[in-house]
Structure 1
Amino acid sequence: MSTLNQEKKIAKRVTLVGAFWDAVLGLVKIVAGHFSQSQALLADGIHSLSDLITDLFVYFTSAKSRQGPDHNHPYGHLRFETLTTVFLGLVLIIVALGIVYDSLSNQSLKPQSTWYGLAAILLTIIVKEAIFHYTKKAGEQINSKMLIANAWHSRSDALSSIAVLAGFVGIYLGYPQADVLASIIVAALIAKLAISMIWENLAELVDTAPDPELIKRIVETAQSLKEVMAPHDVRARSMAGKVYLDMHIHVPKNATVSEGHYLGDLVAYTIKKAHPEVVDVLVHIDTNEKIQTDSLLREPTTEKPPLLKLPARNQILADLKFLLRQHESYVDIPDTRLHYLHNHLSLEIIATSDLVPEQADLKQLTASILQDIENAKYIKNATVLWRIKS
C-alpha cells in the first residue's frame, strides 16, 4: 500500500471515531441544556455538532487530498486540505457569532444547575480530551495540518465545556448571569481557534516559506555530504504540512552529467530521509567555480548569464565537423566533451588511435587538430584524448 493510501486510511478512521463521539455528545448536551434552560450548555452542544460537520468535511477531503498527481494537478491534491481547513475556520466563526447572539437574546431564561447537565459536561471534557490526543497523534503521524486542526477543534470543545462547568458553578452559587458569560467565553474560544486556522492556512495558500529553522536544518543536512558544496538559492513551499523544496548545489567543476545527476539524487534522498515532511526535492546542479555562501536565496533576474553568450553543443559540433574534416576518420566529433567554466569554453576532443593512418605520429596529429580548431575563437583551450579500441 502506498504512503498516500495509508495516510488516507488513517485519516478516515480517526475522523469517523471523532464524528461518532461528536454526534453523541452534541445530542446529550443539547437535551441536557434544554431541560436545564442553560444557554451555555446548549451552545456547547451546538459546538459539538459543529465538530460533527467539520468531521464530515475532513473525512471527504482526506480522501481527495491524498490522491496522487494527475494531469490537472501535477503537484498532487494536498492544497484541497488547506482550502478545506480555511473553510472550516469560516464555519467556526459563524458558529461563534450565532452562540453570542443566542446567549444575549435569551437572557429571560432561568438556567438551573442539574445533575444530568453536570454529567454531560464532565463526559464531554473526558471524551473530547481523549479524542484530542488520539487525533493529534494521528495528524502528526501523517503530517496532516487538517487533522491537527481538527484535533484542536476537539480540544476547544473540552475547554469550552470547562467554561460551561464554571457557569454551572456560578448558577449553583446564585449567579445566573454566569451562564451567559460562560457561553460568550465558549464563543470566544471557538472564534480564536478559527482565526488561527484561517491565518495559518491562508499563509500556506500564498506559498509562504516554511519555518526558517526547518530550512536551516535542511541546508545543514545537504552540507553534511562531502561531495556537495554550498547549497544555495533554497526555496520551499508547504502543502498541507508537506514541504516541496528547490535547491541549488555546487559539485566539482569537471563532474560528468551522470555524476551530477547522481549527486542530485543523493542530496534529494538524504534530505527526505532526514526530514520526512519533505516529500519532493528539485536539485539544480552548479559547478564549484563560483561558490557564494553569503545568501541562501538570490533575487530573480532576467539578465543573460555570461555563459549563455557562448554557443550551445549543436553549433559547436557543427563547427568542429567543418574545422576537423581532414581528421574525421579518427576523431569522434559527437563524443566531444564541453566544459563551460569561468565564463569560457574548454573542449576535450576524443580520437581513436587504432583508426589513424599507418606510421602516423600521434603527437603531430594532436598538434594538427589543435591548430585546426584555433579558428573557433570562442574556444578558450582544448585537449585531445586518444583511446585504443583493440
Structure 2
Amino acid sequence: MANQYQEIRQGEKGAWVSIGAYVILSAAKLAAGYGFVSAALVADGFNNLTDIIASAAVLIGLRISQKPPDEDHPYGHFRAETIAALIASFIMATVGIQVLIDACKSLFADHRTAPALFSAWIALAASAVMFVVYIYNRRLAVRINNQALMAAAKDNLSDALVSIGAAVGIIGAQFGLPWLDPVAALAVGFIICKTAWEIFYSSTHALTDGFNEKELHSLRGTIEGTQGVRSIKDIRARIHGSNVLIDVVVQVDPDLTLLESHRISDEIERRMERKHNIMSVHVHVEPLGLEELTQPGS
C-alpha cells in the first residue's frame, strides 16, 4: 500500500508539467489568436484553458487519493481521481460547445479577415511542446501504472494534434481560403467535446463498477493456471482509482488441508501481482463437489 501512495506522488509531477505547459501555451495562443485574428488559434487557446482545469482536477484527485483508509473509506480514497476526471469532463464539454458556437458565427459572418501567417508558427511550436509533454507523461504513467496520468497523457497528444489542425487552417487562409480558419476552429470544438465524452464515459463506467470483459478474461486465465485450482466458481473485478479490486471464488480438491488451500490462495495473489500488477485480491476457497469430481475431464 505504501508503494501505491509513492507512485501517486510521482504522478503529481506529470500533472504539474501539464499545468505549467498549458498556462504558458493558452496565454500565448489567446494573445496571438486575438492579435492576428485567428479563430482556430483562439479556439485552441480555450482548449488549453480547459486542459488547465482538467489537469488541476487530476492533481487534486491525486492528492485526495493519497489519504489513508478511514472508518468511512475502508478501501481508501483512490476513487477521488475518477471523480475529479468526471468533473473535468463537464467543464471541457461546456467550453467545447462554446467554441463550436463561436466558430459557427465566424463561419457564417459576412466578412472574414485572413489571420496572420505568424500565428501558424505559434500553433506548430505549441504542438511540438505538447508532444514532448505527452511523451513525458506517458512514460511516467506506464512506469507507475497510473490510469489518471495516462488519460492526461492522451489529452496532451490530442492537444498536439489540435494545434496542428489550427496551423493547417491558418495556412490555408493565406491561399485565399479564409473559411478554413473557422472550419479548423469547428474541428477543435468537436475534438474538445469528443475528449470530454471519452473522459465522461470512462469515469462513469468505473464509478458504476464496470470492467472490461477482455481484461477480466485475462485475469480468469491467470487464476485458472494456478496449480491446485480446479475451477473458478465466480470472479468479479472493479476499478478503484488506478487500482483493480478482484473478488474470486475458486474450487479446489476437497481432500486438501486448510494449510494447502491457503497456499493456493497465496499463490493466486502472487501471480496477480506479478503478471497484472494487481495487489488487491480477495480469494475465497471452496471444495469441489463430489458430483463434479465424477464428471468426465474433471
Q: TM-score, normalising length from structure 2?
A: 0.90
Partner of 1:234: 235
User: Could you tell me how far 1:254 is from its partner in structure 2?
Assistant: 2.9
In the alignment, which residue of structure 2 is the partner of 1:3?
3
User: Which residues of 2 match residues 265-304 of structure 1 at below 5 A?
Assistant: 265-276=266-277, 278-290=278-290
Q: Is the Cα–Cα contact under 8 Å of residues 130 and 159 in structure 2 kept in the other structure?
A: yes
Deviation string 1:50-101 (CA, Å, 9 cap, x unpaired) is: 2112121111211112333222111121211111111111111111111122
Corresponding position of 1:132: 134
2:296 corresponds to: none
1:46, distance to aligned residue in structure 2 (A) = 1.2
Give 1:354's aligned residue. Answer: none
Q: Does 1:42 align with 2:42?
A: yes
2:95 is the alignment partner of 1:95: yes
Question: Which aligned pairs between 1:5-84 and structure 2 lie closer than 5 A?
Answer: 5-84=5-84
Say whether the 8 Å CA contact 1:4–1:67 is kept in structure 2: no
Provide the residue aligned with 2:259 in structure 1.
258
Deviation per residue, 1:172-221 (Å, 9 max, x gap): 01121211111011000111111111112211111113x22322222222
Unpaired stretches in structure 2, ≥5 consecutive residues: 294-298
Deviations 1:95-153 (A, max 9, x none): 11111222233546744342431221111110111111221222233332221221122
**What is the Cα-based RMSD across aligned positions, in Å?**
2.1
Secondary structure in 2 matching 1:73: coil
Following the alignment from structure 2 to structure 1, what is the Cα–Cα distance between the partners of residues 64 and 149?
14
Q: 1:117 — aligned with what?
A: 119
Return the letter of the residue paired with 1:150. A
2:90·2:196 contact (CA, 8 Å) conserved in 1? yes
How many residues get paired? 291
Structure with greater helix percent: 2
Bigger-Rg structure (1/2)? 1
Q: Distance in 1 between matches of 2:226 and 2:173?
A: 66
Give every structure 1 segment of 4 or more consecutive aligned residues whose post-TM-superposition deviation is greater than 4 Å. Answer: 290-293
Q: d(CA) in 1 for partners of 2:289 and 2:111?
A: 80
8 Å contact 1:39–1:111 — kept in the other structure? no
CA distance in 1, matches of 2:100, 2:29: 17
1:190 paired with 2:192, answer: yes
Name 1:363's counterpart in structure 2: none
Aligned-partner residue type, residue 196 of structure 2 = A
State the AA in 2 paired with 1:85. A
State the AA in 1 paired with 2:76: G
Counterpart for residue 153 of structure 1: 155
Q: Which has the higher strand share?
A: 1
Task: After TM superposition, list the pairs within 5 Å mapping 1:207-218 onto structure 2.
Answer: 207-209=209-211, 211-218=212-219
Partner amino acid, structure 2, of 1:259: E
> In the aligned structure 2, how far is the partner of 1:287 from the partner of 1:51?
53
Q: Measure the CA separation in 2 of the matches of 1:121 and 1:176.
A: 17
Q: State whether residues 117 and 171 of structure 2, in contact with CA within 8 Å, keep that contact through their aligned partners in structure 1.
A: no
The separation in 2 between residues aligned to 1:291 and 1:48, in whole angstroms, is 63
Gaps of 5+ in 1: 294-390
Q: Specify the SS of the correspondent of 1:249.
A: strand
CA–CA distance in 2 between the matches of 1:258 and 1:169? Answer: 72
- SS in structure 1 of the partner of residue 71 of structure 2: coil
What letter corresponds to residue 172 of structure 1 in structure 2? Q
Contact kept in structure 2, 1:36 and 1:111, CA below 8 Å: no
Give the distance between the partners of 1:38 and 1:237, measured in 2 at CA: 45
CA contact 1:250–1:286 (8 Å) conserved in 2: yes
Q: 1:33 deviation in Å? A: 0.7
How far did 1:291 drift? 7.6
